[in-house]
Structure 1
Amino acid sequence: MNYNLELLKSTQPNVLKQLQAVYKNGKIGHAYIFEGANGSGTEEMMRFFTALLFCENPQDNVPCETCRSCQRLSSGNHLNLHEVFPDGQFIKVDAIDVLLHELSKTGLEAGRKIYIVHEAERMNVKSANKLLKYLEEPDGHVTAIFITNNINALIPTIRSRCQHIKFQPVAKKIVMTYLEQHGVTKSIASTISMITADLKEAEKLSQDDAFAHARKTVLKLVESLSKNVHESLLVVHEDWLPTFKEKDQMELALDLLLFAIRDIVAMKANPEIELTYPDMKQYWSGVALRSSYDVLSSQLQAILVARKNLQSNMNRTLLMEQLMLNLQEGKSFV
């Protein structure tokens, strides 16, 4: 159970300080809810906090990583740590039964016990109510951490018995810096940071040839708009549709297209603004000079309508042909 402290300092500094203060003051609660979007650091912070609570010799409210407890935790065999995961769609009552049985055992390991409920929003009513009975009679030597991306999906009686720790989405600038430190170009890092705040997903995208090809295809389509509708339709049929065959791929592509038009709007308002496609700055600048806000606004709206039609399962070929006609209407690109 390892963690990256430096990453936590940059992505969730307030939460880190809050939990370190809780530990320093000896006011450790019996139950916490870590709520945050995927990739916001809830799992990473849970690993840090668990290590801190177990550590026998912490230094400046940081686990020493060398004591017996830290070593056991790192190797994955600490007897006082219990984790519950979803089985299929839900966390079932059987998993809670096993957890409560493990927590009832004595004599295996002295000191605090910690249990983690991953994706806690997946507890069904029976499993949640069974665990609630345990929460209603807290043991001072047991700490619970519920990890969720939606606190409202937990039953109110569990929410009321836990301290709520809210994780903010990772800032775009932090995602960019993280990717650039891992060898990703500024242009690609900037585009990815608009798509996700999940550092692991961002790193995965940066290594994905399919994403690089998707980005290239979207930019090719944008450039075709400066010619005529026939050229745009040619790109749609020869490049776009063969590349974006699945619904989720098309959804991402429309988002990337939307970001391109937003870049042009941003360049028109402020030529020095940070862009989703920094490598296109010179081209965007020329388009911005020749484009009116009204037409750019209409283009943004046309893409949003196309995205909505995609969710309604409109035929994708027809959707893109219609979108090209709508984007060319008014001829903002000349």
Structure 2
Amino acid sequence: MFQEELRKDHPTVYKVLENALKRDRLAHAYMFVGEASAPKKETAYLLAQSLVCDEDGFADETCESCMRVIHNNYADMIYLDGSTISIKKEDILKVKEEFSKTNMESKGKKIYVIDGAEYATISALNSLLTFLEEPGSQTIAILLVENPDQILDTIKSRCQMITFQKQNKADTFKRFREEYDILDAYLLSYLGIPEKKIAEVMECEEYQHALYTFKTYIEKYLKRYQDANVFLQTEGFGKNKLDSKLVCRYFLDMLGLLAKDALIEKRIDSSWYQSMIDLMSKKQAEHILNVSNTIKDKNIKSVNLGLLIDQFIYEMGEFDE
């Protein structure tokens, strides 16, 4: 069961929530903070299950109510996924409207989870703030956040913040380098992919296409950036049935990781990766890191990936040695 995994891997988070559940002293709003690999969503669902399960403390995770929560079939729970597309004001207003109605379930609890809350629009965050300022006695909000600095201070002050410890990427790399190709093991470990998902991600087409795009693009960029631009426009994203935003995210994460490693002159066993580091100047690395971070932040909010890639190409071409 997930609660055992949580107890083992994130004991502080487990204890805080366990005490709140046993003492019936839950906050009206939580903010789960942690890197992409942290099980924030799984913990949010466990907390939601625990609010509607007949079991004392944490949920049993097996009863009808628990199963309906995990499959998003619980009428008084709403999940908003801002990790793939930016949450708009209308989305928050819809939650408010739904929660203003009489409870559909007998348990009396109303729960809403906002994943990737930092990527919501400003108007959505302001609307969320008014919702948090006047919480219903039976309403629980759970915000899942990777970058709390992007959240309004007024929202953070109304939430109990629970922070997940970071995955030890070096240890993950050591465990997987003997099992997988050295470059795959390194990238997947240092991109923060959860250990239990590394094999799955490595086999997925989005990761494989992102890796091909990353390797080809950076090789061309370090020789003649015009060729890299042509490649990205013709073979990069949106040319197939893959999840283009996910491909783009992996690509930008790989690019940013390479740039950071070049800045600190890191030595990597992968001959190809090390050769890219050796070819990159410090100024190039700084420029690549800045651009990849800027575009990565916009990737989730953007509804037009083509325009975003055009912006990426333009900004990458602005490098001045």
State TM-score, norm by structure 1.
0.61
Query: What is the letter of the counterpart of residue 73 of structure 2?
Result: N
CA distance in 1, matches of 2:78, 2:152: 22
Q: Aligned with 2:255: secondary structure?
A: helix
- Asked if 1:127 corresponds to 2:105, the answer is no
Unaligned runs of 5+ in 2: 237-250, 272-276, 292-314
Equivalent position of 2:311 in the other structure: none
Q: 1:32–1:163: 8 Å Cα contact kept in structure 2?
A: yes
Q: Deviations over 1:259-313 (max 9, x none)?
A: 99633xxxxxxxxxxxx53x88xxxxxxxxxxxxxxxxxx879543332354563
Query: What is the letter of the counterpart of residue 304 of structure 1?
Result: K
- Asked if 1:306 corresponds to 2:306, the answer is no
Equivalent position of 1:262 in the other structure: 266
CA distance in 1, matches of 2:265, 2:17: 42
The Cα shift of 1:215 comes to 10
Q: Which moved more, 1:195-204 or 1:15-24?
A: 195-204
Decide whether aligned partners of structure 1 residues 174 and 186 sit closer, same or farther in structure 2, where only a CA change above 3 A counts.
farther
CA distance in 1, matches of 2:18, 2:261: 43
Q: Which of 57, 61, 64 is the matching residue for 1:65?
A: 61
Decide whether aligned partners of structure 1 residues 156 and 4 sit closer, same or farther in structure 2, where only a CA change above 3 A counts.
same
Q: Aligned with 1:262: secondary structure?
A: coil
Counterparts of 1:309-320 in structure 2, within 5 Å, are 309-310=287-288, 311=291, 313-314=316-317
CA distance in 1, matches of 2:128, 2:261: 47
Query: What is the letter of the counterpart of residue 193 of structure 2?
Result: D
Q: 1:36–1:148: 8 Å Cα contact kept in structure 2?
A: yes
Equivalent position of 2:104 in the other structure: 108
- Asked if 1:197 corresponds to 2:192, the answer is yes
Q: 1:33–1:147: 8 Å Cα contact kept in structure 2?
A: yes
Counterparts of 1:151-230 in structure 2, within 5 Å, are 151-172=148-169, 175-176=172-173, 184-185=179-180, 187=182, 190-192=185-187, 194-199=189-194, 202-203=198-199, 206-207=202-203, 209=208
CA distance in 2, matches of 1:44, 1:126: 27
Query: What is the letter of the counterpart of residue 161 of structure 1?
Result: R
Counterparts of 1:11-30 in structure 2, within 5 Å, are 11-30=9-28
The Cα shift of 1:144 comes to 0.6
The Cα shift of 1:9 comes to 4.1
Q: Aligned with 1:53: secondary structure?
A: helix
Q: Deviations over 1:95-133 (max 9, x none)?
A: 222111111121421221111122222333433333333
Q: Which of 115, 119, 122 is the matching residue for 1:118?
A: 115
Count the aligned residue pairs: 266
Decide whether aligned partners of structure 1 residues 186 and 7 sit closer, same or farther in structure 2, where only a CA change above 3 A counts.
farther
CA RMSD of aligned residues (A): 4.5
CA distance in 2, matches of 1:169, 1:245: 35
Whose Rg is larger? Answer: 1
Q: 2:49–2:69: 8 Å Cα contact kept in structure 1?
A: yes
Q: 1:9–1:16: 8 Å Cα contact kept in structure 2?
A: yes
- Asked if 1:43 corresponds to 2:41, the answer is yes
Q: 1:114–1:144: 8 Å Cα contact kept in structure 2?
A: yes
CA distance in 1, matches of 2:209, 2:102: 52
Query: What is the letter of the counterpart of residue 114 of structure 1?
Result: I
CA distance in 1, matches of 2:154, 2:93: 19
Q: 1:11–1:174: 8 Å Cα contact kept in structure 2?
A: no
Q: Aligned with 1:306: secondary structure?
A: helix
Decide whether aligned partners of structure 1 residues 68 and 260 sit closer, same or farther in structure 2, where only a CA change above 3 A counts.
same
CA distance in 1, matches of 2:3, 2:83: 30
Q: 1:31–1:145: 8 Å Cα contact kept in structure 2?
A: yes
CA distance in 1, matches of 2:215, 2:130: 55
CA distance in 2, matches of 1:95, 1:245: 37
Q: Aligned with 2:73: secondary structure?
A: coil
Unaligned runs of 5+ in 1: 218-232, 264-275, 281-298, 320-334
